[in-house]
Amino acid sequence: MEIVRPGLITGNRIIDQQHQEILTLAREAMSCFDDSRGGNSSEFHALLNNLTTLAARHFQTEEALLRLNACPTLKEHKKEHAAFNERILDLLMKAMAGNLDRSGLLSVMEDWTTHHLLVSDAACCQYMQERKRSSDAARQQ
């Protein structure tokens, strides 16, 4: 899974790299927990740990960038991030209690990559690209 859609490239090297890491992690999760393999608990914990670190770092970086660009959907965007954080925390709590919710993890990864990344993040990327184009054009006048 690679970022191939032009609308998903923010032009910000760090954000683009973090998105790529999320897509790679989603791919790992899908292949770990497919029907034939099922995954094991150490794989599950490793993925969950990576997801927690990635999410915290990425949401912070992205929200700072959206704030800097006065993104009009920042408030809603932050709510979506907070909901992901809550779902990840819930998975962590369950795992600590011995319940490895594999389908829950897959569902978080799927929602993140197909809904949030390809819809909400893509819309913000487009907004920032347009903003940059108009400020570049204004500078050239």
Which residues contact Fe ion (rule: CB under 5 A)?
62, 121
Spatial distance between the Cα atoms of 39 and 53, rounded to a whole number of angstroms: 21
> 44 or 81: whose CB is closer to Fe ion?
81
Contact 8, 114 (CB under 8 A): no
> 47 or 62: whose CB is closer to Fe ion?
62
> 62 or 113: whose CB is closer to Fe ion?
62
User: Whose CB is nearest to Fe ion?
Assistant: 121
What would the DSSP string read from start to end of 52-97? HHHHHHHHHHHHHHHHHTT-TTHHHHHHHHHHHHHHHHHHHHHHHT
Spatial distance between the Cα atoms of 127 and 129, rounded to a whole number of angstroms: 6
C-beta of 92: minimal distance to Fe ion in Å? 20
C-beta of 37: minimal distance to Fe ion in Å? 28
C-beta of 132: minimal distance to Fe ion in Å? 18
C-beta of 18: minimal distance to Fe ion in Å? 7
Nearest to 64 by CA among 27, 12, 104: 12
